[in-house]
Structure 1
Amino acid sequence: MTAVAGPVAGEAAQAQIPNNSASRRDRWANIRTYISAVIILLWCLAPFYWMVVTAFRDVNFTFDNTPWPTHVTLDNFRAAFDESTGNRFLLALGNSLFVSTVTTLISLVVGVFAAYALARLNFRNKFLILGFILGASMFPGVALVTPLFQLFTRIGWIGTYQALIIPSISFVLPLTVYTLTSFFREMPWELEEAARMDGCTPGEAFRKVIMPLAAPAVFTTAILAFISAWNEFLIASQLSNEATRTVTVAIAYFAGAIPRQEPYTTVMAAGTIVTIPLVILVLIFQRRIVDGLTAGGVK
């Protein structure tokens, strides 16, 4: 018994050494992953954190280098909504909400049908069409400002909501079509075929089978489209007026509202007001966003 147990115990000990080595390698790999994630997170959140800290500082301590809030005050947030200086920040918030919502809804309605056609239907040059759609999203917006300004001036659209919504759709729609096309392409054909065998028309199969399954992807695309439309600045800065000015443009006008003064803390407070709702939106629906981005990857 002893002679047999000796070699067996030695082999078990030798087998345990590589396992321990592999476990240590996995542990160090996880540690490196966590460290890298923390560094990237700090790098991305540092500007936002400094904006929030500056937003709560007293104006006399604007350039204080203390990395945490000192001389905390809410006067900067009250100043952001003070219309006596000429800033109509509350109206700009409403304008951005309206333009972003309408842009998102139209982009989703058009994008869902376009993406379904590009992914599920067979017709000539559909990949060429998809290429043109993606190419439109890569076109620099600064090159469109002058033509759009001339066109909308000629037809009397400068300072109207449609002058902000239509160009915004042209930038958001390619993102919508591309995201949903990738999802529809990975969706199993058998689901739709089974619905048709059960007596559904193509429209009923799309409405009752495809759309419920595509809900996570549509929801994710809606959030991404809304954020993209909410953050748009270049086109809105040239095609809006005081009544239709969006919030990103309104913040840029803070510097000229008070003569001979740069209201850095007020600008930071306005930026915080604009950014925090988007952060909360993403945090609340982060599970749906991840589900939507990965839903088309598993058949």
Structure 2
Amino acid sequence: MADAIIPKTVRKPASYFRMRRRVVRGLQILALLLVLFYTLFPYYWAFVSSTKQGSALYQSALMPAFDFTYYRQLIDNPVFMGSLLNSAYVAVSTTFLSLVIGLSAAYALGRIDFPQRRTILMIVLMISIFPQVVVLSGMFELINWMGLFNRPSALVLTYLLSTVPFTTWILTTFIREFPRELEEAAIIDGCSHFRILMKILLPLMGPSLASTGILAFILAWNEFLFALTFTLTDENRTVPVAIGLIAGNSRYEYPFGQIMAASVTVTLPLIIIVLIFQRRIVAGLTAGAIKG
């Protein structure tokens, strides 16, 4: 009698679960295609636009014409090539200095116990999210007082204001994930804090340094406001400012193709760097996600 009251569970056929898996997989592939289209189409559109001139831009808009006239003009332009070298110098110098300073500060904040550690971390975080406009006037006076105005080194100094807090905050998180037993064993053997950082922790922080360094490099490479404010002559400008100042042959011409060619050229080094270090970047971003 009790068995007649309790309903029996209806077992679904295996074809239902196969169809369900196919639908879920199809939706995942569709979502992936949408993300790829959203991220890659602007770059493809820039490349297509950079290979067309005049009215050809509005004919077969999605197909490139493979006319590399604008790229040859950029290569033959000493001002643009000089701005590329300036951007490379500023970005590499900023990345190197921010990693050196940030790594030292991160070790102190992540491993050395002192009462004001949490307060300093909060100050570092607050500085990293400051808008550039807030510190622009103060940095202008400081750069002018130091005699660095209209020099690439002035940009290195100003970019450290945003990259050092950023790298310090991220590297502090990575250093906290390392077991303290490594340092305790080294301290017993008589190692100083500097030697522990250089000989023990630094070799283990390759992925985290790569991911943090790439983000700092991109930040310095793409910065526009400080570069526009602190550089006045063509030989000292960086690439974002050089692209912003590209003008047409007349006041009524908008140099769309030239700007797109310059944008594609400037983006290529970033893509190459990310492709070279992609494994280290992923390893650094996922470090500490799973605690064993």
Smaller-chain TM-score range? 0.7 to 0.9
Deviation at 1:93, TM superposition (A): 0.3
AA at the equivalent of 2:25: N
Q: Tell me the TM-score normalised to structure 1 length.
A: 0.86
Give the match for residue 4 of structure 1.
none
Contact 1:62/1:264 (<8 A) preserved:
no
Aligned to 1:149: 140
In structure 2, how many angstroms separate the alpha carbons of the residues matched to 1:287 and 1:161?
32
Q: Tell me how far apart the structure 2 counterparts of residues 19 and 96 of structure 1 sit (CA, whole Å).
A: 60
Following superposition, the deviation at residue 156 of structure 1 comes to: 3.4
For residues 251-295 of structure 1, the C-alpha deviation after alignment (integer angstroms, 9 at most, x for no partner) is: 111126x33232211111111100011112112221110001112
The aligned residue for residue 215 of structure 1 is 206
Q: Tell me if the contact between 2:91 and 2:221 (Cα under 8 Å) persists in the aligned partners.
A: yes
Identity across the alignment (%)? 39
Corresponding residue to 1:75 among 61, 69, 72: 69
Aligned equivalent of 1:266, options 243, 258, 263:
258
Counterpart for residue 37 of structure 1 = 32
Call closer, same or farther: CA 1:297–1:192 in 2, change over 3 Å. farther
Sort the Cα spacing of 1:25 and 1:188 in 2 relative to 1 into closer, same or farther, 3 A. farther
Q: Which amino acid aligns with 2:259?
A: V
Q: Matched residue pairs, number?
A: 282
Equivalent position amino acid for 2:186 in 1:
A
| Distance in 2 between residues matched to 1:297 and 1:192, nearest whole Å | 22
Deviation at 1:24, TM superposition (A): 4.8
Separation (CA, whole Å) in 2 of partners of 1:190 and 1:26: 46
1:290 pairs with 2:282: yes
**Cα RMSD, aligned residues only:** 2.4
Q: How has the CA–CA distance of structure 1 residues 190 and 22 changed in structure 2, closer, same or farther, with 3 Å as cutoff? A: farther
2:61 aligned residue (63, 66, 69): 66
**1-side partners of 2:67 and 2:240: how far apart?**
24
SS state at 1:255 partner: coil
2:6 is aligned to: none
Q: In 2, distance between residues paired with 1:238 and 1:46? A: 32
| Partner amino acid, structure 2, of 1:66 | A
CA, structure 1 residues 23+133, in 2 after alignment: closer, same or farther (shift >3 Å)? Answer: farther
Identify if the C-alpha distance between structure 1 residues 208 and 22 changes in structure 2 by more than 3 Å, giving closer, same or farther: farther
TM-score (norm 2): 0.88
Instruction: Say which of 153, 171, 174 aligns to 2:165.
Output: 174
Q: Which one-letter code corresponds to 2:150 in the other structure?
A: G
